[in-house]
Amino acid sequence: MKFECKLDNLKQKILLLEKITGRNLSLPILNSVLFIVKGNTILLRATNLEVGVEITIPAKIGKEGTFAIEGRVISSFLNSLDGDENITFEQLDNTISITTKKHSTIIKITPHDDFPSLPKIHQNKAKIRPQILIEGLRSVWFSASVSDIKPEIASIYLYSQGRDLVFVATDSFRLAEKTIKGVGVNIDPILIPLKNALEIGRFFDGAVDELSVSSDKNQLALETKEIYFTTRLTDGVYPDYRQIIPKGTKTQVVVLKKDFVNSLKTANIFVDDFNKINLKIIPEDSLLEIESKNTKVGENTTQIEAHLEGDPIEMSFNFKYLSEVFPIITHDSVALRFNDTNKPLIISPVGDPSLLYLVMPVNR
């Protein structure tokens, strides 16, 4: 086996793949990256059985063959090299000889006969732009549970609604819903485990080729010209989240995002052990008051101007849950909609109804 390819291209792909290999003691082959050298391409494969990825890169093939190298080793080695030069791999018995203009290296290969193949999914095929999928996932994944106790809410819920795609995540303390209009594809409802959704974002960030999406009961497959990506799906039923979204609004507050975010940062200095921040609506003065108090540190009250409609109301929220939505909001103003003291607060960008964020109040 022998091939030559561009160092930068190979390094970039190996660095991506190495992150889904690891130290699997029961199946050590999963610690490796598989190289399938054939025709005029190299197919690189890695899997941890949760996620599997194949990436194809062009190469000048001297002799076809297949081998596997421990992911950590080949990743560290390639990352130590620089320059946009060619790199040559040649198999010598149970080792690989790797040469560049400056380097000559020998790395042991691992037996590859037991390296798993990736499942191929052919049902429910649809084609979308990768930016749509990435935008949807990134708009909600911060709200998903990081605990595996309830796998359904440690997942991103994705489904079609007419011509729209809807992405949902919740950890039961807050919920984010992103609707992308007019996508025009039909995708059966699926639950993507959060950690695997993060890998989708990593592998397809910046992708420009059309994305083919296929799914069955157990797997989701995503494919471009270069990448074939498959992930296990969560087996379960997502909670009927629509029933907790308040139907009406008693009080609405519109504020500049930067004013509210800066006030939250100040309030966070003085939060108590429950990270509690108090919001008080003062309609007669057109003010939103943000207050926090910690008996060991001190207290702070900030008032910001706001456009208010409705009744006075005062509620408390967890700083983390209240603040984490704002990095994904690009609009200048946000609307805060209150319904009752025991109902969730709804936050959405003014002029962008596609994003809905709910935060449950703190009633301590």
Strand 307-310 and strand 313-318: the pairing is unpaired
pLDDT the model gives residue 363: 82
- For the chain, 364 residues long, give each residue's pLDDT as a single digit of tens: 999 999 999 999 999 999 999 777 788 999 999 999 999 999 999 999 999 999 999 999 999 999 999 999 999 999 999 888 999 999 999 999 999 999 999 999 999 999 999 999 987 789 999 999 999 999 999 999 999 999 999 999 999 999 999 999 999 999 999 999 999 999 999 999 999 999 999 999 989 999 999 999 999 999 999 999 999 999 999 999 999 999 899 999 999 999 999 999 999 999 999 999 999 999 999 999 999 999 999 999 999 999 999 999 999 999 999 999 999 999 999 999 999 999 999 999 999 999 999 999 998 6
Q: Which amino acid is at 65?
A: G
Phi, psi of 297 (to 5 degrees): -115, -50
Say how far apart CA 197 and CA 134 lie, in whole Å: 9
Say how far apart CA 113 and CA 191 lie, in whole Å: 32
3-state secondary structure 276-317: EEEEEEEHHHCEEEEEEEECCCEEEEEEEECEEEECCEEEEE
Q: Which residues are paired to 191 by β-bridges?
A: 157
What is the length of the chain?
364
Phi, psi of 195 (to 5 degrees): -65, -30
pLDDT the model gives residue 364: 63
Write down all domains in the chain, each with its CATH number in brackets.
2-108 (3.10.150.10), 126-242 (3.10.150.10), 246-359 (3.10.150.10)
In the block, residue with structure tokens 């209150």? 338
* Nearest alpha-carbon partner for 73 in 125, 28, 42, 123: 28
Residue 154 in contact with residue 169, Cβ under 8 Å? no
Positive or negative torsion for Cα 229, 230, 234, 239: positive
DSSP letter, residue 45: E
Residue 317 in tokens:
């929220």
Q: Label residue 256 exposed, middle or buried (CB < 10 Å: 0-12, 13-18, 19+).
A: middle
Q: What angle do CA 294, 299, 302 make, to 5 degrees?
A: 135
Say how far apart CA 171 and CA 175 lie, in whole Å: 7
How many CA atoms, within 13 angstroms, populate the side-chain half-sphere of residue 110?
19
Q: What angle do CA 33, 49, 225 make, to 5 degrees?
A: 60
SS3 state at 322: helix
Residue 51 in contact with residue 203, Cβ under 8 Å? no
SS3 state at 218: coil
Q: Label residue 148 exposed, middle or buried (CB < 10 Å: 0-12, 13-18, 19+).
A: exposed
* Nearest alpha-carbon partner for 156 in 202, 196, 214, 110: 196
Strand 32-38 and strand 65-70: the pairing is antiparallel
How many CA atoms, within 13 angstroms, populate the side-chain half-sphere of residue 177?
20
Residue 89 in contact with residue 2, Cβ under 8 Å? yes
* Nearest alpha-carbon partner for 321 in 362, 288, 260: 362
Q: What is the CA radius of gyration of the chain?
A: 25
How many CA atoms, within 13 angstroms, populate the side-chain half-sphere of residue 66?
10
